[in-house]
Structures are given as C-alpha cells and as structure tokens.
Structure 1
Amino acid sequence: MVLIVDDIRANIIALKKTLELHNIDVDSAESGEEALKKILKTDYCLIIMDVQMPGLDGFEVVKILSGNQRTKDIPVIFLSALNTEKKYIFKGYETGAVEYITKPVDTDLLILKVKTFIKIYEQQNELKVMKDLLSKEIKIRKEAQDNLEIKIAERTKELVQKNEELELRNHELQQFSWVVSHDLNEPIRKIQIFIKIIKDLYLKTDDKAVDYVNRTIKSAERMQTLITDLLAYSRLSAQVKPEKTDLNEVLQEVLSDFDYLIENKNATIKTNELPTVDSIPSQMRQVFQNLIGNALKFSGIDQKPEIEITSEIIVEKSFDSPTSPEGSFCRIVVKDNGIGFDEIYLDRIFIIFQSLNDRQTYEGTGIGLAIAKKIIEKHNGLITAKSEVGKGASFIIVLPLKYKSK
C-alpha cells in the first residue's frame, strides 16, 4: 500500500484517483503527525510526501522515519510545487528520500516510479521468505538423522532452485539501480545542455560570464560523476578500483566549488603540499567537501573563517605516529577557528543524523561526517577530531599512501 501525505485534501484526492486507476492501493494522511501514527500501525511499501505542511514538515517526518529501525527503509518520494529550489532538492535527498519531484508532475513517469518501488517491496518480501526457508533448512539438517543422504539430495535440489530465483531477483535489482541512476543523471544532463546553449548564443563577448558558465558546467560534470560513484559505493558488492590521486588537485576542485561562499564570508584558506595516494578520487573529494563545508558553515557569527589544511608523511597508521619521509602513511589536518564542540561528544559527531548544534542557526542533516568516516575507513584509514567550544576544531585523517584491500 502507498501512503500519500499532504495537508491539502484536493491534492490527495487527485493523486489517489490517478494511482487507483492503475490498481494501486492507497492510504492518506493530512499532516506529518497523522502520517507518523499511521506508519507505526501499517506497513507501507512507499510514501509520497508533501514538503511544506503545518506542524511537522516533510523533511522532519522523513528524518524521524530514518532514525527508526522499523521505518528507516521505507522509500519516500517528495512531491512539491513550492520548494523547487536546488537547496531544497539537495536537502530532500540528504534527509533520506529516494526521489524529489517538483510540480507540474509527469504522471506517466510518477506511475512508473511508484510501480518500480512496489515491485522492489514485493521482491524484498520474497527474499525474506527465502531467507526463512534457508533458516528452516539449517534446522532440519541438524535434526535429521535417518535417511540423511536422501534428504540432503532433495534439499540440495531445492536450494539450487532457490539460488536461481535469487540470481534472477538480483538481476532485477541491478536493473532498478540503473533506472534510478538514469533518473538522477537526466536533470544534470539538461543543466549541461542549456548552460552550453546560453554560453554559445548569448555570452560570447562577456569573459566574466563565460568563466562563471564554465565553472557551472564543471560543477555539473562533477555532480554527475558523484551520482554514479555514490550509487556504486552504496552497493556492497560493487568494487570501485582505486587510482593514483593527487590530493592537491582534489582540494583545488573543492575550493573552486566553494569560491563564492569563501568570498562571501571573507574566509582565509591556507594549505601546504598534499601527497599523492591510492584512492577513489570522487570519495576523497566528498571528504574534503564535508570538512571544509563544515568549517565554513560553523564559523562564528561575526568571525571571518580561517581554515588551514596541512599534511605530513608518517611512519605508521596512528594519529600520534612520528613523521618520516620514508613513511607509508600520511596525516592530514583540517583546522578551523569556528564554534568548535565539547570533546565529550566526539563519538556522536561521526554517527549519522547526529548534530550538536542548533539547526535553526546552522542548517545541516547530520550526515556529512558519518559519510566522511565511512569513506576514510573504506580506504583503510582513520579519522578523529580535537576541539574546544568556541576555539575551533581540527579534523585529523590518517591514510595509507598505497591502497591495500582488507
């Protein structure tokens, strides 16, 4: 069953009739609070959520669902006619939604997406049944004493059949991942096309405008790469091959993305020479984006941000390792003069959806540092932080120069 959440009843009725025409069971709620009550009592395969509602808005409802073990895996599609700006779309995905659709809606595309998620829900239930069958199989094998060879032969045949079914389901899930990747990349491709048209037709004589357009195109390209890499990273079975990565180039790309914010906040950025390491470049870019983005975001209200990024070669995989030009690891420190935090909360800052600050003053989802930690650990590295309230923070990363699989 699909749950529609919208504070405007006319919107619910219109969408409900559209879905019911395709034989899709629908339930509805007219507020975030009502939706939470229903979700606790009923299993839904998909939630279509309005963003702007009185009381709990869509973002807050999804954040609550993401923090609950029972509801965290329910897919949510945001549907909004008002919050169509890029920052709201990004916030929707960061909060945990699988899709963010702005109105007017392409009804055929929406129905296709809804049917896809229903199919995935059915497949997950089938996989759960198969898992239960396999658990029962183990129990039967332990208890069986008589006619063991015959029973093993029969069960082996059954397991082969189940394995073939699992392989088929896995293939279907891979196809679904491709559909999601295509849907995410399509708006990026349109941005690239239209920006290039604007550049070629209207901005040839304006060097500054051409420069800004070129930056926009490069940012769109990096976003496209990031989407692809994040999809690959999210799949546990996916293997992304590390490559030689000049961290100086990665850092400069990140600083280029932040150039407007750096200029707007009159921030000072100091760096020294970073090493070349074996890594997945897009993921290392995301680590720097999260750390530098936090340093800019959590600066004092009347304070100019000062960020220092340093690196040194060290002997061993340890935060306190001595330095050595012949070492096999590097230690990277991202230091700022921002609001800082109390180190008694050090473990919390790397847990997903945890935030130590007032969200009304410092906007954020509490996911950035959790992602950074996972990426560093995926590269066989370490990450920690040192800080005092009101005296800034230093994030310390230890990475091997040569990648070795675990």
Structure 2
Amino acid sequence: MVLIVDDIRANVIALKKTLELHDIDVDTADSGEDALKKILKKDYCLIIMDVQMPGLDGFEVVKILSGNMRTKEIPVIFLSAINIEKKYISKGYETGAIDYITKPVDSDLLILKVKTYLKIYQQQTELKAMKDLLSKEIKIRKDAQNNLEIKIKERTKELVLKNEELEMRNHELQQFSWVVSHDLNEPIRKIQIFIKIIKELYLVPDKKAIDYVDRTIKSAERMQTLITDLLAYSRLSSKVMPEKTDLNIVLQEVLSDFDYLIERKNAIIKTTELPTIDSIPSQLRQVFQNLIGNALKFSGSAEVPYIEINSELIAAKDFDAPVSAEGKYCRITVTDNGIGFDEIYLDRIFIIFQSLNDRQSYEGTGIGLAIAKKIIEKHNGLITAKSQPGKGASFIMVLPLQYEEIK
C-alpha cells in the first residue's frame, strides 16, 4: 500500500485517483503528525510526501522515520511545487528519500517510478525473508551436525555467495525499467539498420552470407519484440493479456535460433503438431528456449543428441489425465537423451539459482528452469520432469487451450 501525505486535500484526491487507476492501493494523511500515527499502525510499501506542511514538515517526518528500525527501510518520494531549489532537493536526499519530484508532475513518469519502487520494495522484502530463512537453516545445520563442521563452513560460504548474487541481481532489477526504455531499443534498431546495409551493399553475390545475415535480422526483430513486451509489461500493469498463439510457429522460431548449435552437434529434432492456445508468445518462446537449450547443453559427449517435442489434448489439468480429442488442456512433453538427473532433486531444479551440475563444465546461471516454471504458472499451467542419471530427461507441461484468469 502507498501512503500519500499532503496538507492540501485537492492534491491528495488527484494523486489518489491517478494511482488507483493503475490498481495501486492508497492510504492518505493530511499532516506529518497524522502520517507518523498511521505508519506506526500499518505497513506501507512506499510514501509520497509533500515537503512544506504545517507542524512537522516532510523533511522532519522522514528524519524521524530514518531513525526507527521498523520504518527506516520504507522508500519515500518527496513531491513539491515550492521547494524546488537545489538545496532543498539535496536536503531531501540527505534525510533519506529515494527520489525528489518537482511539480508539475508528468503522471506517466510518476506512475512508472511508483511501480518501479514498489517492485524494488517487494524484492527487498523477499530478499530479507530469504536471508532470515538462510540464517535459520545455518543454525539448524549447526545444531544437528556438530560433527560435520567443515561441511557446514562450506555450505555457509555457498549461501553467502548466493546471497551476494541475489543482492547484485536485485540491484540490476532496480534499473530495469529505465534500461529497457532508454538503453536497449536503440542498439537493436542500429543493429538492424547496419546489418541490412551490409546485406544490400556488400553481400549480394554470396548466398550463404545473405542467409546468415537474414537470420541475424530475424533474431534482432525477435529481441526487439521481447523488449517491447517487457516494457509494456512494466509500464502498464502486472497483467499482460494473452493472444491466440500457434505453438508450431513459436517452436520453429526457437529451433531457428538454435540451428547453428543443432547443426554443430548433429542433433536430431523430432516434433509433432502443436496446438494453438491463448498465451503470451514471447514468454512461451522463452520456455521452449530454456528446455531445448538445456537439452542441447546437457547432451553429453558420447552420443548424438536426440530431442523430441510432442503434444496431445487431455481431459483435465493433470499430468496423468487421459487423452481426449475434446480436451480443454494440452500436455506438451520435451524429451532428450542427455545426462539426466536423479529425481530426488526434482524440487531443486525449479528453484532460482539452483544447479545440479558443475558450472565449470556446463555454463549457466541456474535461473532458466525457475523462469520456465513461473511462466507456466502465470499461464495457469503445470510443469514437472521425469529423469534418470545418464538416461535423459522429459519435461512435461500442461496448459489450458483458452485463457483462464488465475484467481
């Protein structure tokens, strides 16, 4: 919930309506004293604070909040039409605010900032909860395994490293909206322009080179589509409406992205007809990229990689549901003959930053399957896997054919 603090009622009403149009929960206070009382009783994710108010002004309120262990982490945005000089803006940051916005306010920019800071606050809260869980796990292991102190030290070191990695990624996410908006689209456009110039002026007689250039252009176009989808997702709302999606087209685009690796590894790819469903195409493309990419990466060195993608309509949202020509769900299976894994680690493979393999031998961040699981769940679907060490793996997804709003 966002708390708006302003002694002018008209300002409060206007800002409250703007935020509520974007499904943001809002509470209000008409003075610094009223704000402090409410903050002591409720938990807020963000405070939008006027600077000049009778009684306690905005600077004094934020200074009080910064000195309290419970409230010092709440992000505060100052909003002022009067105190717009540099010295006031500097003072705002010095007291502990994360931003200082002067009026008149660009409502689109304000909404983007509010959503970004809310997302950051949520991520920081999750990170803190994860830290607490990690601390508890360390304590439990120390109490239960006093005779295994060396292993505990190694585990603690691993947890610290992963915690540092999470903090780094959390910092990167804080810059996400602005990076997408200002830094990604422009390079992609330039890549497309320069590649087309090279194609038209220098590669006319070389058919193979033109083929490679065409693939590069298509990859750049898909990347630009992904960037556009992500930007729309972050700017508008957390809900992205699905569209009719032919999964055969999505799969062929993914296989085209991997064609060089498939050719280099002499991989055999077998596919059956996939259905058309309601989905977010760029997200399901990412799921197929992760699953097929893993199948190629973990193929081992002893045999030719074999990957099979098949689909069937089923009667219910269940991994073991019977096949039905009138079914409202589809079961898609991606099977490979790679190194596989022990199913006792099934829960771990879908957890972010978890990897069952030596990262020196197999490159990766340990995030791909976690992303795949999150995407499938956002589509109101299910995902699991079956495998044995050295005997390949099968990843099974169940997805509804028609959009179902998750309640």
- TM-score over 0.5 for the alignment? yes
TM value normalised by structure 2? 0.59
1:203/1:209 contact within 8 Å kept: yes
Q: CA RMSD in A?
A: 2.8
Cα distance change on mapping 1:388 and 1:171 into 2, 3 Å: closer
- Structure 2 residue aligned with 1:294: 294
- Higher deviation after alignment, 177-186 or 210-219: 177-186
Deviation at 1:163, TM superposition (A): 11
Q: Distance in 2 between matches of 1:375 and 1:229?
A: 14
Where in structure 1 are there 5+ consecutive unaligned residues?
1-128, 140-157
TM value normalised by structure 1? 0.59
Task: Please give the secondary structure, in 1, of the residue aligned with 2:334.
Answer: strand
Where in structure 2 are there 5+ consecutive unaligned residues?
1-31, 44-60, 62-75, 80-100, 102-106, 117-174
1:232/1:238 contact within 8 Å kept: no
Map Cα deviations across residues 1-44 of structure 1 (whole Å, 9 max, x no partner): xxxxxxxxxxxxxxxxxxxxxxxxxxxxxxxxxxxxxxxxxxxx
Percent of aligned pairs sharing the same letter:
74
Alignment of structure 1 residues 184-203 onto 2, 5 Å: 184-203=184-203
Deviation at 1:240, TM superposition (A): 1.6
1:248/1:273 contact within 8 Å kept: yes
Deviation at 1:289, TM superposition (A): 0.3
- Structure 2 residue aligned with 1:170: 111
Alignment of structure 1 residues 200-215 onto 2, 5 Å: 200-215=200-215
- Structure 2 residue aligned with 1:136: 40
Deviation at 1:170, TM superposition (A): 3.3
1:308/1:335 contact within 8 Å kept: yes
1:284 aligns with 2:284: yes
Cα distance change on mapping 1:311 and 1:365 into 2, 3 Å: same
Q: Distance in 2 between matches of 1:380 and 1:138?
A: 32
Q: Distance in 1 between matches of 2:228 and 2:35?
A: 30
Q: Distance in 1 between matches of 2:352 and 2:245?
A: 27
Cα distance change on mapping 1:247 and 1:131 into 2, 3 Å: farther
Deviation at 1:237, TM superposition (A): 3.0
Q: Which amino acid aligns with 1:261?
A: L
Cα distance change on mapping 1:131 and 1:186 into 2, 3 Å: farther
- Structure 2 residue aligned with 1:340: 340
1:364 aligns with 2:364: yes
Q: Distance in 2 between matches of 1:220 and 1:198?
A: 15
1:216 aligns with 2:120: no
1:311/1:333 contact within 8 Å kept: yes
Alignment of structure 1 residues 5-404 onto 2, 5 Å: 134-138=38-42, 169-173=110-114, 177-178=177-178, 180-233=180-233, 237-404=237-404
1:195/1:217 contact within 8 Å kept: yes
Cα distance change on mapping 1:163 and 1:390 into 2, 3 Å: same
Higher-Rg member (1/2): 2
Deviation at 1:361, TM superposition (A): 0.7
Q: Which amino acid aligns with 2:280?
A: I
Task: Please give the secondary structure, in 2, of the residue aligned with 1:182.
Answer: helix
Cα distance change on mapping 1:234 and 1:261 into 2, 3 Å: farther
Q: Which amino acid aligns with 1:172?
A: K
2:180/2:227 contact within 8 Å kept: no
Number of residue pairs matched by the alignment: 257
Deviation at 1:370, TM superposition (A): 0.5
Cα distance change on mapping 1:134 and 1:266 into 2, 3 Å: farther
Task: Please give the secondary structure, in 2, of the residue aligned with 1:210.
Answer: helix
Q: Distance in 2 between matches of 1:240 and 1:375?
A: 12
2:384/2:396 contact within 8 Å kept: yes
Q: Which amino acid aligns with 2:194?
A: F
Map Cα deviations across residues 260-297 of structure 1 (whole Å, 9 max, x no partner): 00000000000000000000011110000000000000
Cα distance change on mapping 1:278 and 1:171 into 2, 3 Å: closer
Map Cα deviations across residues 49-68 of structure 1 (whole Å, 9 max, x no partner): xxxxxxxxxxxxxxxxxxxx
Q: Which amino acid aligns with 1:170?
A: I
Cα distance change on mapping 1:385 and 1:236 into 2, 3 Å: farther
